[in-house]
Amino acid sequence: MRSEPVVQVQALVKRYGAKTAVDGLDLVAQAGVTAVLGPNGAGKTTTVETCEGYRRPDSGTVRVLGLDPVRQSAALRPRIGVMLQSGGVYSGARADEMLRHVARLHAHPLDVDALIERLGLGSCGRTPYRRLSGGQQQRLAFAMAVVGRPELLFLDEPTAGLDPQARRTTWDLVRDLRADGVSVILTTHHMEEAEQLADDVAIIDAGRVIAQGSPEELCRGGAENTLRFTGRPGLDVGSLLKALPADCTAAELTPGAYRVVGKVDPQLLATVTSWCAQNGVMPDRISVERHTLEDVFLELTGKELRS
Amino acid sequence: MTLVTGTGAYTPKPGAAPLPRMIAAQAALETKMLLRNGEQLLLTVVIPTLLLVLFSSVDIVDTGAGRAVDFLTPGVLALAVMSTAFTGQAIATGFERRYGVLKRLAASPLPRWGLMTAKTVSVLVTEVLQIVLLTVIAFALGWSPQGNPFAVLLLLVLGTAAFSGLGLLMAGTLKAEATLAAANLVFLLLLVGGGVVVPLEKFPAGAQDVLGLLPISALSGGLRDVLQHGAGMPWGDLGILAVWAVAGLAAAGKFFRWE
């Protein structure tokens, strides 16, 4: 069942002086977790900040929870939680003090102590914000976005600079939020983050969405995957090809090492193994190389994501 | 995708707190941040107190006829207002802008005007604390004030408005470091040239006319007319402060950039 989209962006254009940061971007995000993926400078933050009401579109329309983020800001702001990429806290404030303050701005905030414990912020103690570690600052910003019990969360690179354990803590909380019905828009240039968390991924490059779908769809769609197996040298590749779907290729790369390229799915794997069975071939090793979002991105843009 | 499978701990329940509660919370936090900041306390408490005590007890500056403390207290009260409403507010707000505090709060349920109201409340609370402290010290030094308390209150309020407008204009347009430097420099220059501890009569006649139009001179002069000389309403000084307040707040409203 699909409900109303949480975010609808149509033909968004945003320029800074001569530089076009967002260039006719279309994005529809449904309930759930949507990852906005792209290299630095692709327009991720500008897009998200337009949704948050910080920037006025030069042209195009933006609707968040059905509202105009600039003109209906007063109605929208209590319903969203915002995590900026950095900062947002008084340099002399303590973590718990700032979190309690943001909680006081909301009608039904979460229990602050429980949130502090959940995100491991208890160790911040009386340290002022400016002397917290980058990871602690990051987790505090996340807590501040969550504490007001929003319907929709905007997380701008929520795990940038976190150690693996803190990253996992953040991911777990995003999953719990999602399970409780909170929608999340997160920007990231970590493929793994998008693959782990997102129901839907929008890949942005040069101010446009160039592909959108679930991580599985994106990794399957169009992208070629590879199946490798080893057997005795000199097998009849032509007979294998006949057994395979028409758009597949097969070759013996080195004696005894075979490669099938095509749409790799359970059916293809079954076809290859049954061909092996019919021909009395025992594949010593059989491996499937599925495309990651990283490969998809490279194919779509010709660029490394973390450039 | 919309199926809720969690424990319900984070189930959305959004809503803004009532406005008065938001503004009170914001004002309390801002005041706490200010009182915790050592450099701010130096400006708002230590310097005015030292000037009052030092110049009242040691005859460094010729403060004219009458007792030094009666001349100095109105000037130091004016300085206290400037230190909080202008210098302190400009520096604090400049760094809040720089560190994304204003940006983050702009996405919270607290409206921008609510944030500005809270800042004003915080400035007023700080001023009350300063005035209580300085008044107690002045009385201990033998101060004997004259005049109409209502005129004093009006001067303080208009002075606060004038200095707030100028402070916010600076914080909202310059870089944080530039604000820090400029606000301190202006503080020092106005301390010397604004009739705070040095009577304006010590300056050449031409300079006096210009200096007299500064908000600090209007505030210190107006307070002195009332508190030292028992004047009624110092309309001239009130008028100067009103013009600065309107111009400063209007310019701040127009040019203030939140990021």
Q: What is the pLDDT of residues B11-50, one digit of tens each?
A: 999 999 999 999 999 999 999 999 999 999 999 999 999 9
Residues of B in contact with A104 (CB under 8 A): 17, 21-22, 25
Would you give the DSSP letter of residue B67?
-
Q: Residue A234: exposed, middle, or buried by beta-carbon count in 10 A (0-12, 13-18, 19+)?
A: exposed
Do both A64 and A182 map to the same domain? yes
Q: How far apart are CA B68 and CA B57, in angstroms?
A: 8
Residues of B in contact with A84 (CB under 8 A): 100, 103-104
Contact B1 A32 (CB under 8 A): yes
Domain ranges in chain B are 19-255
Q: How far is B245 from chain A (nearest CA, A)?
A: 28
Identify the pLDDT of residue B4: 59
Identify the pLDDT of residue A307: 46
Identify the pLDDT of residue B182: 96
Which residue type sits at B47? I
Q: B38 at the A interface (CB within 8 A)?
A: no
How many domains, in total, are found in chain A?
Answer: 2
Do both A70 and A203 map to the same domain? yes
User: Contact B202/B190 with Cβ under 8 angstroms?
Assistant: no
Sequence-ordered alpha helix ranges (H) in A182-292: 191-197, 215-220, 237-243, 266-278
User: Contact B86/B166 with Cβ under 8 angstroms?
Assistant: yes
Q: B95 at the A interface (CB within 8 A)?
A: yes
Contact A87 B103 (CB under 8 A): yes
Identify the pLDDT of residue B3: 53
Do both A94 and A151 map to the same domain? yes
Do both A259 and A189 map to the same domain? no
Do both A50 and A158 map to the same domain? yes
Contact A77 B16 (CB under 8 A): yes
Tokens of A115: 């949130």
Give yes or no for residue A123 having a pLDDT over 70.
yes
Higher pLDDT, B259 or A55: A55
Residues of B in contact with A97 (CB under 8 A): 29, 32
Q: How far apart are CA A56 and CA A62, in angstroms?
A: 9
The proportion of chain A whose per-residue pLDDT surpasses 70, expressed as a percent, equals 96
Give yes or no for residue A223 having a pLDDT over 70.
no
A220-242 average pLDDT score: 83
Name residue, tokens 């260039």: A23
| Residue A305 maps to a domain | no
Q: How far is B228 from chain A (nearest CA, A)?
A: 40
Q: How far apart are CA A121 and CA B12, in angstroms?
A: 22
Residue A302 makes CB contacts below 8 A (sequence gap 6+) with none
Tokens of B93: 């707000």
Do both A179 and A135 map to the same domain? yes
Contact B100 A151 (CB under 8 A): no
User: Contact A134/A168 with Cβ under 8 angstroms?
Assistant: no
Identify the pLDDT of residue A113: 96
| Residue A58 maps to a domain | yes
Q: How far apart are CA A294 and CA A218, in angstroms?
A: 10
Check which CATH number belongs to the domain holding A276 and give it.
3.30.70.1560
User: Contact A227/A268 with Cβ under 8 angstroms?
Assistant: yes
| Residue A1 maps to a domain | no
Q: B177 at the A interface (CB within 8 A)?
A: no
Do both A237 and A216 map to the same domain? no
Q: What is the pLDDT of residues A86-103, one digit of tens each?
A: 999 999 999 999 999 999
- Closest by Cα among A233, A82, A105, A231 to A152: A82
| Residue A298 maps to a domain | no
Q: How far apart are CA A293 and CA A262, in angstroms?
A: 17
Identify the pLDDT of residue A305: 59
- Closest by Cα among A102, A89, A94 to A125: A94
Average pLDDT, chain B: 93
Grade residue B75 by pLDDT with cuts at 50, 70 and 90. Answer: very high
Tokens of A119: 């995100």
Q: Which domain holds residue A268?
A: 225-290
Q: How far apart are CA A241 and CA B26, in angstroms?
A: 71
Contact A87 B99 (CB under 8 A): yes
User: Contact B42/B87 with Cβ under 8 angstroms?
Assistant: no
Q: What is the pLDDT of residues B107-157, one digit of tens each?
A: 999 999 999 999 999 999 999 999 999 999 999 999 999 999 999 999 999
Identify the pLDDT of residue A189: 83
Tokens of A270: 């079954």
Contact A90 B11 (CB under 8 A): no
Nearest Cβ partner of B11 from A88, A93, A181? A181
Give yes or no for residue B60 having a pLDDT over 80.
no
Do both A109 and A166 map to the same domain? yes
Grade residue A1 by pLDDT with cuts at 50, 70 and 90. Answer: very low
Point out which residues pair with A28 in neighbouring strands: A8
**Number of helices (H), then strands (E), in chain B:** 12, 0
Do both A199 and A250 map to the same domain? no
Residues of A in contact with B122 (CB under 8 A): none
Would you give the DSSP letter of residue A66?
T
| Residue A167 maps to a domain | yes
Identify the pLDDT of residue A4: 86
